[in-house]
Amino acid sequence: MPRQTPLDAPPSPAPGRTGPLASLRENPGFRALWVSNVFFFGGAWIQTMVLGWIVFETTRSELHLAVFTAVRLAPMLLGPFAGVLSDRYDRVRLLTLACGWALAAAATVSGLESLTHVPYWALVLGGLAIGLAQSPSQPARSALVLSLVGRRNLSNANALNAMAMNMTQVVGPALGGALISAFGAPAALWISSAWYAASLLALWPLRHTERGGTERGGTEQPAAAEPVVAMLVGGLRAVLRNRLAAAVLAVTLAANVFLWPVHQAFMPVFAKESLGLDADGLGWLLTCGGIGGLVGSLVMAALGDFRFKGGLFVYGTAAWAALWALFALSAMSGRLALSFALMTGIGVLSAAFGVLQTTLLLMTTEPAFQGRALGVQELAIGVMPLSSLGLGVAAEYLGVAATTFASALLLVLFLAALALRLPALPRYRGV
């Protein structure tokens, strides 16, 4: 039977029932997925902060921290294969398996840290195990949104998902830092394990749906049993031949080469070496970014199906990079209050980037290839481990602030060149 297209998806909220929370209010299936995402990303943010702190406390090396981050994020390289699984199998079941694996991996790392002082190599392996639960599930998680809410509410639903991530970015690091200060790292890690368990339970209402979008017996079925390699190659060709989709992926790739590794790997270094903060202070610095992200997500949700999607994606990402350059300068000069304020602004613009990179990719890709398109996006994000290593080497010699400043300027130059070469992207409306 034919796959469900966005036009066949569950009905969007009625015209009279709009607003920032429209998808949550009107769609029980999306509401269940959203609650699951809150707990899943909550566990991930606590672990990102706590494990990064433990690694830097253990090694006192920016390069060792970069290696840990690279291994933690390496499963993103499996993105194209994860996209094939998303197009081929039941997405709800894939997410259930991912939550179960995340719970087991997080509980194992927490138990080891409670029993003994975990050596660096074991922390690296633990990070890899947790990454294997998180990254390969992302194409299914994102594609499921379109199946649940339809095209008209895609921007709203993606913004609400970004809001979930940023809410946990507010709570997770602050909670992780407070728990480290009050009870130690093992308690913070056990909290993250409990969040994964809650995420798994929240998926229960979706168990009676096929592919997450229709009730059992409905019209949407998994893709035909085409060989995995053929599906992978066909999907890559279809996505990369689409100039707009390829350009969106190029922006995602550039952002993850130049700046996202800074946020993922080097914030403990900024906090400890440049700003003189302890674990609690690092938590609050990351919380400022989360608060900004929450505000940005609410703004994006309120905008709904707005017309300047491409322009905001390109120029907003350039402004985001400029704020990172200013943050590097403020940290270098030890201006604590300014650094906290700039991190809040970075959070606002990072929310717009996160919402639009997925929304634009789904809107510019044929429905049959959307899972694989999101898999390629995950691969573009997956270069972060490699770029983390390169930036780690640079930071070891130049300092993390100088490295961040140079990377931010390179991203701005790339976006300016892209806007000149393909003006159709900043002009894209997606309506």
Q: What is the pLDDT of residues 358-371, one digit of tens each?
A: 889 888 888 777 77
3-class SS of residue 195: helix
pLDDT at 166: 67
Q: Which two tokens stand for residue 167?
A: 């809410």
CA distance linking residue 352 with residue 259, whole number of Å: 15
Q: Measuring CA to CA, how many Å separate 205 from each of 42, 101, 138, 215?
A: 20, 20, 20, 11
CA distance linking residue 39 with residue 33, whole number of Å: 10
More confident residue, 194 or 224: 194
Centroid of chain to Cα 340? 22
Q: Is a pLDDT exceeding 70 seen at residue 375? A: yes
Q: Is a pLDDT exceeding 50 seen at residue 212? A: no
Contacts of 97 (CB under 8 A, 6+ apart): none
Q: Which two tokens stand for residue 112?
A: 């080891």
Average pLDDT, the chain: 81
More confident residue, 119 or 256: 256
319-333 per-position pLDDT tens digit: 999 999 999 999 988
